[in-house]
């Protein structure tokens, strides 16, 4: 019990160091927060769905702005007795058809901006937030131009380096479906989640 309490305290302190988040605000706005700034990525939810894998729940949203630019936003969280088996980047790569390749663009706090290769050899620009082993969020569908603007905003006035965008990433139309491929096989046989380690420590 003492180890469990210590682990929770450590997690609280660790998460307190992060100043970035990717979340829905006012029920419709997808907002990227970093330091003292907020960037609205999209402002209208077109559709949503909930995928239930018993100990893992995935909410998927299709969003648009006034120009019908389409993004997808996904929230994956485990129940209290489980956590993700892998870090945020590798978990997201698994749900994009077990992708084997990515190109890092930049990292800031708990945010990762990457280009992930899909099975048809196209690439996606993806923002991943992974500061909690029981909750990962990510969004994708950005053009290269928009992705670079976001990356530059994250590292403004800092000594961080943005890497070159090597590939022209795909974008989505309003009629398109999500590119992620959550399934029982990926969740349970990879496996993507594992019993919460702090509960098993002594």
Strand partners, 65: none
Whether a cis peptide bond, with omega within 30° of 0, leads into 191 is: yes
- pLDDT of 109-165, one tens digit each? 899 999 999 999 999 999 999 989 999 999 999 999 999 999 998 887 566 778 889
- pLDDT of 42-82, one tens digit each? 999 999 999 999 999 999 999 998 888 999 999 999 999 99
Structural tokens at position 35 = 């330091």
For tokens 């998460």, the residue is 15
**Count of CB atoms situated within 10 Å of the CB of 135:** 15
- pLDDT of 167-177, one tens digit each? 999 999 999 99
From edge to edge, which strands make up the β-sheet containing 44-52? 44-52, 56-64, 70-78, 135-140, 123-132, 111-117, 102-108
Count of domains for the chain: 1
**10 pLDDT above the threshold of 60:** no
Q: What is the C-alpha to C-alpha distance for residues 110 and 118, in angstroms, rounded to an integer?
A: 23
Identify the helix (H) or strand (E) that includes residue 5. Answer: helix 2-16
State the residue range of the domain holding 18: 2-200
**pTM (two decimals):** 0.88
Q: What is the C-alpha to C-alpha distance for residues 175 and 191, in angstroms, rounded to an integer?
A: 31
């Amino acid at each position: 019990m003492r180890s469990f309490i210590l682990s929770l305290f450590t997690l609280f302190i660790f998460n307190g160091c992060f100043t970035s988040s990717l979340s829905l605000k006012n029920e419709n706005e997808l907002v990227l927060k970093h330091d003292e700034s907020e960037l609205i990525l999209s402002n209208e939810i077109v559709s949503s769905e909930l995928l239930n894998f018993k100990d893992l729940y995935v909410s998927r949203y299709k969003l648009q702005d006034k120009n019908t630019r389409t993004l997808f936003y996904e929230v994956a969280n485990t129940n209290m007795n489980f956590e993700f088996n892998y870090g945020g980047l590798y978990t997201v790569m698994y749900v994009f058809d077990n992708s084997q390749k990515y190109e890092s663009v930049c990292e800031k706090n708990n945010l990762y901006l990457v280009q992930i290769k899909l099975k048809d050899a196209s690439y996606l620009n993806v923002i991943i937030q992974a500061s909690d082993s029981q909750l990962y969020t990510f969004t994708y569908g950005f053009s290269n131009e928009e992705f670079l603007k976001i990356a530059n905003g994250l590292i403004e006035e800092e000594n961080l380096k943005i890497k070159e965008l090597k590939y022209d990433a795909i974008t989505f139309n309003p009629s398109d479906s999500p590119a992620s491929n959550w399934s029982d096989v990926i969740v349970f046989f990879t496996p993507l989640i594992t019993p919460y380690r702090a509960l098993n420590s002594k």
